Structure 1
Amino acid sequence: MKIDHVTIRQLKMRMKSPFVTSFGSVQEKQFLIVEVKDANGLAGYGEGVAFEVPWYTEETLKTSLHILNDFLIPMVLHKEIGHPSEVSKLFHVIRRNNMAKAAMETAIWDLYAKQNNLPLATALGGIRQTIEVGVSIGIQPTNAELYGKIEHALNEGYKRIKVKIKPGLDVSLIRAIRDRYPDVPLMADANSSYTLEDMPILKELDQYNLLMIEQPLAADDILEHAKLQRQIKTPICLDESICSYDDAKTAIELGSCGVINIKYARVGGLTEAKDIHDLCEENNIKVWCGGMLEAGVGRAHAVALTTLSNFVLPGDTAGSNHYWEEDIIEPEVKVNAGLIHIPQEPGIGYRINYAALERYTVKQYQYR
């Protein structure tokens, strides 16, 4: 496979409502769409999901553009690529910048699958025709508004509810949810907002039968999570701490977690995500697929990834209409009774809605 032409579009889309976590709030989402074409004009698509502010990782939309423009595109443009898994090796000389890498690598995976007339899920080795999905609910102004969102998600059939917590809004919040919904599969996401000094609070959450507590301690920590996991019964799920296969290997060896959230964008693409999945499966560590408030292209890649065998917990791949009035793919990602049916068309399995893509594009860059 040879990449003949690359287009990067910078899009701006407004979410239905603000998504609030312990580190900030997002409603106007700017992101990148990477289009790669071969000499025959066949196109593959990837999504650059880095936020405008470096509050999740050190990456931003602007740094992604810089890395793509000055380093990653020259490394693949007009070069012979035998298989998408080779792209991760090519990019290995560039440290970190995983979301920029993933934007390009996933586009190449999509093109490869289309060239070989395969659904992306099949090309990755997926085994499922449907996947179970949960929903992530940001911090709400009132409990009543939170309950409204939980009720809506349950009525839609979502298989798991994830809520955001932070110091001062943790035990009381989880207790209130449990009093109202004693049996709902529930997890809490702390987004790195606690330290070991908060051990009593985190221990107190054990009584509420949570599926997991996601990333309670520092984003770059693995060691202290191991200390915490030895002190609490609730499984710790690592998110921000796992940026590579080596991070996952270290966490498993130290006993830092019982679950890993795999976000392909955080780890540099589908190849690294698949390798982490396989490592976790070998070591009986459950995995699920997290989200980055993606639009349709990124969401489609997450759907395909989640068909791998060890994604045994419902992921955050909610339907398009959970976040957007209009998505940039058609059909949009739909959830029926908590399930997404895997498309069987070649590549990501969803068509680009070019009218919407053009409408939301604020900048465009061409590389030939």
Structure 2
Amino acid sequence: MRLEAIELHHVEMDLVEPFETSGWRETTRPCIIIAIHSEGLTGYGECVAGAGPWYSYETVGTAWHVLKDFCIPAVLGQDISSAEELQARLKPIRGHPMAKAGLEAAFWDVLAQAQNVSLAKLLGGTKDRIESGISIGIQKDIPTLLSVIEQRRAQGYKRIKLKVKPGWDIEVLRAVRQRFSDIALMADANAAYTIADLPHLKQFDKFNLLMLEQPLDYDDLIDHAILQQELKTPICLDESIKTPEDARKALDIGACKIINIKPG
């Protein structure tokens, strides 16, 4: 199918409530919506890069530049029949996976429409619904956090992931476990600790967590492997896993037991 036109739209929405992690605080959510036009159809994708280089080096500004000046010229006007072919056209552009993924998402959408199948089916999905979890940011105090968890449970969320950092971790998890003894609970540090914090991090084992996400540096594998040997709690890697090769290396050395894969 020929990619006849590609549009970029910069949008921004206010968050329902501020979202705070160990490293940053957000009150709005900017993103880039990508539209691919092909043979009378339009597919949409979202580039998930944020406002600043906190979670990733990619931002809305860098993604716009890379999409406009490199990714789109590499595929515009071309006949492309598969996502693999699209990826091959983009491979010479190093890095910038969020920019590339937004363009690929739009391609998947228009490809599914062209084949008259759902995107889920095209991707090999077998379920018609899944249980949803939610990530809850750092709150002003523990009572507020407990109230937010109660609200989210009432809304139907089955898994709760709490952002943690030094000074907002052990007592927080203890209070949550005392109040909600049976919830599926996770903690996400967004690289807030170092391997020197190992004795402190071993206390997370008390709280029957499904996982502890990205406790150490955002591009580390080695220290995570050392930490995982000492913890009963499964480590989940997120920021450290940027490619399938990163995932293979992490699993080979025992740096984690879970990998957080995010579309985009």
- Give me the whole-angstrom Cα distance separating, in 1, the residues matched to 2:244 and 2:18: 33
1:32 alignment partner AA: I
Per-residue CA deviation, residues 153-183 of structure 1 (Å, 9 max, x unaligned), is 1112211100000011111111111111111
- Give me the whole-angstrom Cα distance separating, in 2, the residues matched to 1:173 and 1:155: 20
- Give me the whole-angstrom Cα distance separating, in 1, the residues matched to 2:199 and 2:231: 10
- Give me the whole-angstrom Cα distance separating, in 1, the residues matched to 2:157 and 2:84: 33
Q: What corresponds to 2:33 in structure 1?
A: 33
- Give me the whole-angstrom Cα distance separating, in 1, the residues matched to 2:46 and 2:138: 26
Deviation at 1:129, TM superposition (A): 1.3
Structure-to-structure mapping, 1:283-294, within 5 angstroms: none
Structure-to-structure mapping, 1:260-279, within 5 angstroms: 260-265=259-264
Q: What corresponds to 1:157 in structure 2?
A: 156
Q: What corresponds to 1:3 in structure 2?
A: 3
Q: What corresponds to 1:190 in structure 2?
A: 189
- Give me the whole-angstrom Cα distance separating, in 2, the residues matched to 1:68 and 1:256: 33
For residue 247 of structure 1, give the secondary structure of its aligned residue in structure 2.
helix
Deviation at 1:264, TM superposition (A): 2.2
- Give me the whole-angstrom Cα distance separating, in 2, the residues matched to 1:118 and 1:256: 38
Q: What corresponds to 1:93 in structure 2?
A: 92
Per-residue CA deviation, residues 71-111 of structure 1 (Å, 9 max, x unaligned), is 00011100010112222222121111011001101000000
TM-score (norm 1): 0.71
1:34 alignment partner AA: I
Deviation at 1:48, TM superposition (A): 1.2
For residue 29 of structure 1, give the secondary structure of its aligned residue in structure 2.
strand
Moved >4 Å (runs of 4+): none
> What is the number of residues matched between the two proteins?
264
- Give me the whole-angstrom Cα distance separating, in 2, the residues matched to 1:104 and 1:23: 28
Deviation at 1:52, TM superposition (A): 1.4
- Give me the whole-angstrom Cα distance separating, in 2, the residues matched to 1:18 and 1:157: 21
Q: What corresponds to 1:148 in structure 2?
A: 147
Per-residue CA deviation, residues 47-88 of structure 1 (Å, 9 max, x unaligned), is 011111100011111000010011000111000101122222
Identity of aligned residues (%): 45
1:14 aligns with 2:14: yes
Q: What corresponds to 1:351 in structure 2?
A: none
TM-score (norm 2): 0.98
2:112 alignment partner AA: A
Higher relative contact order (CA 8 A, sep 6+): 1
Deviation at 1:260, TM superposition (A): 0.6
1:10 alignment partner AA: H
Q: What corresponds to 1:45 in structure 2?
A: 44
Deviation at 1:207, TM superposition (A): 1.0
1:67 aligns with 2:66: yes
2:164 alignment partner AA: I
Deviation at 1:185, TM superposition (A): 0.8
- Give me the whole-angstrom Cα distance separating, in 2, the residues matched to 1:29 and 1:133: 20
Alignment RMSD (CA, Å): 0.9
Q: What corresponds to 1:78 in structure 2?
A: 77
For residue 187 of structure 1, give the secondary structure of its aligned residue in structure 2.
strand
2:61 alignment partner AA: K
- Give me the whole-angstrom Cα distance separating, in 1, the residues matched to 2:172 and 2:151: 18
Q: What corresponds to 1:114 in structure 2?
A: 113
Q: What corresponds to 2:103 in structure 1?
A: 104
1:19 alignment partner AA: F
- Give me the whole-angstrom Cα distance separating, in 2, the residues matched to 1:181 and 1:36: 46
Structure 2: stretches of 5+ with no match in the other structure: none
